[in-house]
């Protein structure tokens, strides 16, 4: 993993007080990031993991709460077992950093009425989590409950292009043609931006897709893009592109990520 730039705090795994289960692994990471908003700072905790169920299980199992461990045991399908384990592990890493809590099993991430992830932790501090997973990769972002956010990651998959394009508005299609981006890259970016917003809103994709329409797309760094939402002016999206995966974050429009924080997320995505 590349070094974490100044202004953000990488995994504090060098500290002797951190249990062995949290020690840094080349395929894991966590970083405390700061968002600037109205001259104040908001701390968030990003956790990520790349790997298979078998690779990750020995490191993740000690961080599961008893209820999470039981749920994992009851999951029937291997693909879901992997996404659940990786997602909970990435989430725990982000939460542990944000909460300064060394024991992952004291935190439980459970599902709400709309499958949205909710945090149970013996503290008054209002913390929430957003989780995303795709084959062999998961990210979890812990944030203050009053500052809603959502993340979504997708592998680029040309065989899904028709589905992705069918969900684009005519303005998005017109922009895609002039964006200079490969068609599947552009379509996947827009899809993840919308899914990220749907998670921030906790609607999931049960609402008409058009309401998540994007606009004012612009490149803000190498492989990093930003857009607005036409019907949700209070949010914006930031997208990171890696060779085969694309990650979007939906966040309150006026909350700013520093250039260093943008690079940390790019590192997390690449692994």
Ligand X SMILES: CC(C)(COP(=O)(O)OP(=O)(O)OC[C@H]1O[C@@H](n2cnc3c(N)ncnc32)[C@H](O)[C@@H]1OP(=O)(O)O)[C@@H](O)C(=O)NCCC(=O)NCCS
Name the residue nearer to ligand X (CB basis): 10 or 249. Answer: 249
Least distance in angstroms from the C-beta of 15 to ligand X: 29
Least separation in angstroms between CB 220 and ligand X: 23
Nearer to ligand X, 198 or 213 (CB): 198
Q: How far is the CB of 259 from ligand X (least distance, A)?
A: 26
The residue (of 105 and 203) whose beta carbon lies closer to ligand X is 203
Q: For 254, phi and psi rounded to 5 degrees?
A: -90, 10
Residue nearest to ligand X (CB): 204
Binding site for ligand X (CB under 6 A): 83-84, 87, 111, 114-117, 131-133, 152, 195, 198-199, 202, 204-206
Nearer to ligand X, 4 or 237 (CB): 237
Least Å distance, CB 91 to ligand X, is: 8
Nearest to 4 by CA among 97, 96, 83, 91: 97
Minimum CB distance to ligand X smaller for 132 or for 255: 132
User: CB neighbours (10 Å) of residue 17?
Assistant: 6
Q: Distance between CA 102 and CA 175 in Å, rounded? A: 46
Between CA 25 and CA 31, with CA 30 as vertex, the angle to 5 degrees is 140
Q: Which residue has the tokens 């024991």?
A: 103
For residue 138, the minimal CB distance to ligand X (Å) is: 8
| Spatial separation of the C-alpha atoms in residues 216 and 70, rounded to whole Å | 45
Q: Measured between alpha carbons, how far is 51 from 85 in angstroms, rounded to an integer?
A: 11
Q: What are phi and psi of 203, to 5 degrees?
A: -80, -20
């Amino acid at each position: 993993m590349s070094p974490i730039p100044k202004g953000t705090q990488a995994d504090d795994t060098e500290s002797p007080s951190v249990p062995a289960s949290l020690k840094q692994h080349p395929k894991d990471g966590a970083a405390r990031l700061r968002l600037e908003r109205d001259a104040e700072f908001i701390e968030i905790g990003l956790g990520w993991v790349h790997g298979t169920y078998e690779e990750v299980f020995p490191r993740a199992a000690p961080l599961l709460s008893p209820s999470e461990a039981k749920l994992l045991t009851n999951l029937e399908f291997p693909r879901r077992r992997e996404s659940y384990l990786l997602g909970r592990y990435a989430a725990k890493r982000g939460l542990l950093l944000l909460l300064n809590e060394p024991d992952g099993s004291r935190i439980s991430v459970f599902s709400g009425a709309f499958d949205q992830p909710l945090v149970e932790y013996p503290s008054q501090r209002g913390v929430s989590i957003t989780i995303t997973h795709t084959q062999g990769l998961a990210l979890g972002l812990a944030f203050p409950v009053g500052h809603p956010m959502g993340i979504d990651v997708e592998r680029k998959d040309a065989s899904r292009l028709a589905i992705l394009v069918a969900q684009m508005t005519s303005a998005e299609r017109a922009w895609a043609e002039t964006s200079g981006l490969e068609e599947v890259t552009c379509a996947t970016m827009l899809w993840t931006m919308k899914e990220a917003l749907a998670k921030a809103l906790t609607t999931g994709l049960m609402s008409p897709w058009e309401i998540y329409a994007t606009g004012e797309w612009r490149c803000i760094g190498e492989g990093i893009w930003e857009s607005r939402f036409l019907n949700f002016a209070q949010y914006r999206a930031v997208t990171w592109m890696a060779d085969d995966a694309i990650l979007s974050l939906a966040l309150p429009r006026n909350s700013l990520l520093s250039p260093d924080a943008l690079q940390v997320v790019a590192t997390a995505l690449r692994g």
